[in-house]
Structure 1
Amino acid sequence: MEIQFTGLPAAQVARIRKDRLDAYGNPVEVHRAQGGAYPCRHCLGNTPEGHDYLILAWRPFRSTNPYAETGPIFLCADECRAAKPSSQVPAMLRAPSYILRGYTEDERILYGTGRIAQTPDIPAHARDLLEDPQIAFVDIRSASNNCFQCRVLRG
């Protein structure tokens, strides 16, 4: 099975950059990238050193059901090229491990699918999860802070 790692939708990112509001309607924070990695969830790369980035609350779901997790993310403050869906693990995923969870079409966690996976094992685990027809997508989150990283879809 082919899989695709995807970043945030360009239209939603453009709205955030224009309105400067997060999932709660709060103003986004603007900071300068200095001496660290600030992975943009739109281009799936790091904000360039010396450039501004945004910190905001993000909810990667259409609905607000009990499973619609919200958490902090980074975005390049300046326009950046949307990541093309790819079968390759995004370079921004540099931690040793991440949480993967399978979600149903109605955006609910399918119990038993959550797992901490070592970064090199992410594609195989995502494929295994997406073999289940009940799973519509897999979200990847930080294993240490639970921040949303990207989504995996069937290719």
Structure 2
Amino acid sequence: MSDVRFLPIDPDRLAAMRSAGGDEFGNPWTPFDAEGREPLRCCLRGSGAGERIALITYSPWTAPSPWMEAGPVFVHADACAGYATTGRYPPAFLDGRRMINPFDHHGVRAYDHITFVGPGEDHEAAVRAVLAQPSVAFAHVRSASAGCLMFEARPVGSP
């Protein structure tokens, strides 16, 4: 059993956006056909060519915070199965450079524990090492090149 959860975008938040016809920042929900290279944050895998997807603005924060970062992410245009193996680092996101962006128990960035990993390195072990720090409550795993959110990582049992 895993002690870490690797979390996609909350499907309930996505359902609300789809129903509203736009993302939480007022951008219209505009489906288009995937080229087959887009990283999907709803199910934590790469898209297949021709899949209906949408590009939205998303922030993992659910309450105002000075640390709130929002950016573009790809999701399925319609509801999908999500990411079922939340105890495992998403295999589709092992190929790039990632920044593990940790936050403390008050939601403040834990600068001392920011970690970068690249292709060929053990991404899952790096996330686990960051989350093992007593001062770290959770982390956002981001693209190190584009800065966009890939997914959130939290210890099992944390909110």
| Equivalent residue number for residue 10 of structure 1 | 11
| Equivalent residue number for residue 144 of structure 2 | 143
Q: Which amino acid aligns with 1:17?
A: R
Size of the aligned set, in residue pairs, is 154
Tell me how far apart the structure 2 counterparts of residues 85 and 4 of structure 1 sit (CA, whole Å).
9
- Could you say if the C-alpha distance between residues 112 and 138 of structure 1 is closer, same or farther in structure 2, counting changes exceeding 3 Å? same
Q: CA deviation at 1:147?
A: 0.7
| Equivalent residue number for residue 115 of structure 2 | 115
User: Contact between 1:7 and 1:85, CA under 8 Å: does it hold in 2?
Assistant: no
Tell me how far apart the structure 2 counterparts of residues 122 and 7 of structure 1 sit (CA, whole Å).
16
Tell me how far apart the structure 2 counterparts of residues 126 and 57 of structure 1 sit (CA, whole Å).
25
Tell me the alpha carbon deviations over residues 75-131 of structure 1, each in whole angstroms, 9 at most, x when there is no partner.
Answer: 011220121253322122043310101112332211222221125322111111111
Tell me how far apart the structure 2 counterparts of residues 59 and 106 of structure 1 sit (CA, whole Å).
17
TM-score between both structures, scaled by the size of structure 2 = 0.86
Q: Which amino acid aligns with 1:109?
A: R
Asked if 1:21 corresponds to 2:22, the answer is yes
User: Contact between 1:54 and 1:76, CA under 8 Å: does it hold in 2?
Assistant: yes
User: Contact between 1:59 and 1:69, CA under 8 Å: does it hold in 2?
Assistant: yes
- Could you say if the C-alpha distance between residues 134 and 20 of structure 1 is closer, same or farther in structure 2, counting changes exceeding 3 Å? farther
Q: Which amino acid aligns with 2:40?
A: C
- Could you say if the C-alpha distance between residues 63 and 2 of structure 1 is closer, same or farther in structure 2, counting changes exceeding 3 Å? same
- Could you say if the C-alpha distance between residues 94 and 128 of structure 1 is closer, same or farther in structure 2, counting changes exceeding 3 Å? closer
Q: CA deviation at 1:43?
A: 1.1
CA RMSD after TM alignment: 1.8
| Equivalent residue number for residue 33 of structure 1 | 34
| Equivalent residue number for residue 79 of structure 1 | 79
User: Contact between 2:17 and 2:24, CA under 8 Å: does it hold in 1?
Assistant: no
- Could you say if the C-alpha distance between residues 82 and 96 of structure 1 is closer, same or farther in structure 2, counting changes exceeding 3 Å? closer
| Equivalent residue number for residue 125 of structure 1 | 126
TM-score between both structures, scaled by the size of structure 1 = 0.88
**Stretch deviating more after TM superposition (85-94 or 125-134):** 85-94
Structure 1 stretches (4+) deviating beyond 4 angstroms? none
User: Contact between 1:96 and 1:118, CA under 8 Å: does it hold in 2?
Assistant: yes
Structure 1 spans left out of the alignment, 5+ residues: none
**Stretch deviating more after TM superposition (1-10 or 61-70):** 1-10
